[in-house]
Amino acid sequence: MDALGQNIRGVTLDVGGTLISPHPSVGHVYASVAKKLGVGDFSSELLNKQFVAGWREKGFFDYSLENWRDLVKRSFAGIAPVTDELFNAIYEEFSHAECWRLYPDVLPLLKELKDRGVKIAAVSNWDTRLRGLLEAIDLAKHFDAIIVSAEVGATKPQKAIFEAALKALSLPAEHVLHIGDSEREDFQGARDAGMMSLLLSREEQGKVLTKAEAISDLSAVLRILDKPV
């Protein structure tokens, strides 16, 4: 029997929560920037808690400056006013590699996929800072294409962003696997676009996953690709 990997000619990957995560956390970065500006010495834990709550309640998010400003204001609600200076400094800070952590299972997967001749694309709901950030982290060179929602004018789970990736890779949907950490945006969005998909649940690492298409780390991808079909 053939291995599943023989049917997969392309892999697309979400970025935030899949390849990288804020370091040490969003709240820590917010607090650090505020302290540098002399705004105050605030609790990173409280800022992080309010950011997480704001993110969950944000509704439609197009990754514009206005959307980010509103989210930062929610994070600082009851703590400090968000001036233009504070917001601009925070926005700029997250364009630096130092504010992000690369998960240890990322590079081994990217290198193995490249060795197998599989085309790779990043497909992310992000703003125009993403390309520069991936360059700074030294990740950009591993991708055949980088698809950014702010550039495409569509966010996952919309088909348009996945179709942009397929066009960039010159591959049909049925031969491309998408991997991401959002069930709605990544797993279901890719399937609705005709692609295969896997749901990455990093918080479940070390546990037995009940969803057949779920993985807890990227090292599992290669084991899945090598399974017979």
Q: Whole-model pTM? A: 0.92
User: Is the domain of 13 the same as that of 49?
Assistant: no
The verdict on 11 and 32 lying in the same domain is no
Residue 203: predicted pLDDT: 79
Q: What type of residue sits at position 43?
A: S
- Which structure tokens are listed for 153? 């004018």
Q: What is the pLDDT of residue 223?
A: 85
- What's the pLDDT score for residue 209? 41
Least confident residue range of 1-5, 37-41, 165-169? 1-5
pLDDT band with cut points at 50, 70 and 90 for residue 58: confident
CB 100 within 8 A of CB 124: no
Question: Is residue 27 located within the same domain as residue 130?
Answer: no
The separation between CA 196 and the C-alpha centre of its own chain, rounded to angstroms, equals 18
Quick: pLDDT tens for 187-218: 999 999 999 999 999 876 544 444 558 899 99
The pLDDT of residue 110: 97
Among 99, 119, 154, give the residue marking a domain's end. 99
Q: What is the mean pLDDT of residues 28-35?
A: 98
Give the residue from 74, 99, 124 where a domain finishes.
99
pLDDT digits (tens, 9 = 90+) for 144-174: 999 999 999 999 999 999 999 999 999 999 9
Spacing of C-alpha 120 from chain mean position: 15
Q: Which residue has the tokens 């060795």?
A: 115
Counting Cβ atoms within 10 Å, is residue 162 exposed (0-12), middle (13-18) or buried (19+)?
buried
What's the rounded Cα separation, in Å, for the pair 181 and 59? 18
Quick one: 149 and 216 in the same domain?
Answer: yes
Q: Which residue range is the domain that position 189 belongs to?
A: 4-19+103-225
User: What is the total count of domains within the chain?
Assistant: 2
Q: Are residues 182 and 209 in the same domain?
A: yes
d(CA 166, CA 156): 14
Same domain for 124 and 205, yes or no, is yes
* Residue 1 pLDDT: 36
Residues 35 and 130 in one domain: no
Q: Are residues 93 and 114 in the same domain?
A: no
Domain boundary among 70, 99, 128: 99
What's residue 153's pLDDT?
95
CATH of the domain at 176: 3.40.50.1000
Same domain? For 129 and 178 the reply is: yes
Q: Is residue 172 within 8 Å of 134, Cβ to Cβ?
A: no
Is there a single domain that holds both residue 107 and residue 213? Answer: yes
Residues 71-119: tens digit of each pLDDT: 999 999 999 999 999 999 999 999 999 999 999 999 999 999 999 999 9
119-144 residue pLDDT tens: 999 999 999 999 999 999 999 999 99
Q: Are residues 144 and 87 in the same domain?
A: no
What pLDDT score does 204 carry? 62
Question: 62 and 109 share a domain?
Answer: no
Which of 17-31, 104-118, 214-228 is least confident? Answer: 214-228
Please report the pLDDT score of residue 172 as a whole number: 98
pLDDT at 224: 83
User: Does the pLDDT of residue 186 top 90, yes or no?
Assistant: yes
